[in-house]
Structure 1
C-alpha cells in the first residue's frame, strides 16, 4: 500500500512527524526522493506536491493521501464515507488536526463590494476555480471566475478582478493588502483520504487507527499513584479519567492500612490541580507521564 504525502512546504514536516509518531518510520529518505519505504514492508511513501496528491490517489498511483481538504475539494468530490462516495470521489477517513485554514471570499476594504450579491456579473480571481464555481453556484450568483497561479491578493488592485477567493490562516496577508473578508467559502485542515475501493482494506484501517491513536494521545497524560484503599472514592472524585481507573491492590503501608495503585488517563489541563487535590486525599508516589499513542 502506498501513501502520498506532501514533498515540501508547510505540510511536509508535520506529516512526516505524525507518521513517525504513529510507528511508520520512513527509511532511506533523501532530498528530491520520490519514494521511500517504511518499517512496515507493506507500506511505502510517495512524495508529491500537496495539490497533486488527490489526483495521485484517484488515479491509483497511491492508495491513501495526506493533504488539505481544500486541495481535495478542488480536485473533485470528497465523501464522508465509502457508502456515499461516487466512483471518482475520495473518502475523508480522518481529520489530522493540523494545517487549519479558511478559503474566503474577499474584496477591497474601500470598494463597493459588501456582500456576495454585489458580485453578480463581476470578476473573481482564485487559485481554486472549481471550489469557487461551486460556491457561487450554491449562493446563486453568476460571477466570472479567473484562474491565477499566485499573488491572488494583488489582482483587485491592478484591475484584474473585483474580488478574490483565497486561503487565509491568520488574515494578516489580507489586511496588509487592504482586503476584507466577505464570506467563508471552505474550512480546511489536513485529512487522510482514500479511494472508495480500498477503504475496507485491513491495512488502510491499520494506518487510520495508528494515526488516530496519536491524535487521541495529544493533550492527555497518564497518572499513576498509590492511595489508601479507604480513600478510593475520594480519589475517583478527583480524577474520573477516560473510561474509569485501573485499580490494583498493593502491600499495606507502614501502619498496616490497605493501599491501592491507581492508574488513569486524564486531560493535560487537569493535571496541575489534580495533583494537589490527590495529595489532600492521601495519594502518594504520584507519577505523570506523556502518552505516545492511545487507542480508544
Structure 2
C-alpha cells in the first residue's frame, strides 16, 4: 500500500511543508536534489512536488492520496477533498482592497457593477454575491496590485499576510473574504481504502503541531511543598510526580508548560524551593 503526498514545489509554504514531514518522522531520503518524485524513509510513503495551486485537484482526482496546500486554493478550486488538519503555517487573508484615494473604504461603498481584479475569481464572486453585490470580475494571473492604477479595475481581491505589500502599493483593505492557512487534505476514496496508514501519517503530523510552543519542565522538590508546586506548575492534565529513591522526602515532578510561560513558572518554582530544574524541548505529543 503506497501513499503519495503532494507538496508545493516552491514558494513560501514549500520548505515548511518538507520540514513538517521530516519532524513527523517522514523525512525525504534526498533533500538536496529535489525531484518530481522523492522517496521517504518509510517505504510506503512517497512525495510528489507540484504547484501549490494544482494540489487540490491532484488530490481530488486521486493523483495523490494526501496533499498540503492553502485553504484559499482548496476553496477557489472547489475541490472535493477531505480536510484533515489545519497545519498552522502559511497564514494569510484574501482581502478586498482599493487605492488609498478611492471613495471605497468599506464593503457598503462598493457600487453595483464595480470591477474587481483577482487571481481568485470564484471565491471573490461567491463572497460578493453573498453580500448582495453585483460586480464584474477580471481574472489576472499576477501583478494584481497594479490593476486599479492602470484603469483595469476599481479594486482588487488579493492575498496578504501582514498588509505591508498593500501599503507599499498605496492600497487599503476594504473587507476580508477568507482567512487561510495550509491544510492537510486527503482524497476521499484513498481515505477509505488506506485509512489506517493515512491516520498514522496524520498522527505523526498532529503530534508535531501539538508540541509546538511547549516545553517539558522537570525538577526535584521536597514532598512537603508539593501542593505549592502543583499550583505553580499546571500541566496539560496536571504535573506528574514520582518518588526519588535515593533521597528520602524528595519527589521528581514534571509537566508540559507553554513556552511563553516557562520564564515565570521557573522563577515561581525556585522561590518555592524546587531544584535541579530542567527545561527540555518536546518533539511530539501523541
Residues 160-216 of structure 1, C-alpha deviation per residue, up to 9 Å, x if partnerless? 111110011111221122211111011001111112223350111111111111111
- The secondary structure found in structure 1 opposite 2:183 is strand
What is the rounded CA distance, in whole Å, between the counterparts of 2:87 and 2:124 in structure 1? 24
Residues 118-156 of structure 1, C-alpha deviation per residue, up to 9 Å, x if partnerless? 231121110011111111221111111111111101011
What is the rounded CA distance, in whole Å, between the counterparts of 1:55 and 1:31 in structure 2? 26
Matched, 1:288 2:279: yes
Check 1:246–1:114 CA distance in 2 against 1; reply closer, same or farther (3 A cut).
closer
What is the rounded CA distance, in whole Å, between the counterparts of 1:207 and 1:219 in structure 2? 21
Cross-structure match for 2:177: 185
Cross-structure match for 1:240: 234
5+ residue gaps, structure 1: 78-88
Matched, 1:165 2:157: yes
What is the rounded CA distance, in whole Å, between the counterparts of 2:191 and 2:238 in structure 1? 32
What is the rounded CA distance, in whole Å, between the counterparts of 2:267 and 2:31 in structure 1? 46
Cross-structure match for 1:139: 131
Q: What TM-score comes out, normalization by structure 2 length?
A: 0.94
Greater mean deviation of Cα atoms: 61-70 or 32-41: 32-41
Check 1:8–1:31 CA distance in 2 against 1; reply closer, same or farther (3 A cut).
farther
Shift of 1:112: 2.9
8 Å CA contact 1:251–1:258 kept in 2: the answer is: no
Q: What TM-score comes out, normalization by structure 1 length?
A: 0.91
Matched, 1:53 2:55: yes
Cross-structure match for 1:85: none
Matched, 1:231 2:225: yes
Shift of 1:28: 2.5
8 Å CA contact 1:252–1:258 kept in 2: the answer is: no
Counterparts of 1:68-217 in structure 2, within 5 Å, are 68-77=70-79, 89-117=80-108, 118-200=110-192, 201-217=195-211
- The secondary structure found in structure 2 opposite 1:174 is helix
What is the rounded CA distance, in whole Å, between the counterparts of 1:198 and 1:64 in structure 2? 8
**How many pairs does the alignment contain?**
281
What is the rounded CA distance, in whole Å, between the counterparts of 2:191 and 2:130 in structure 1? 30
Shift of 1:94: 0.7
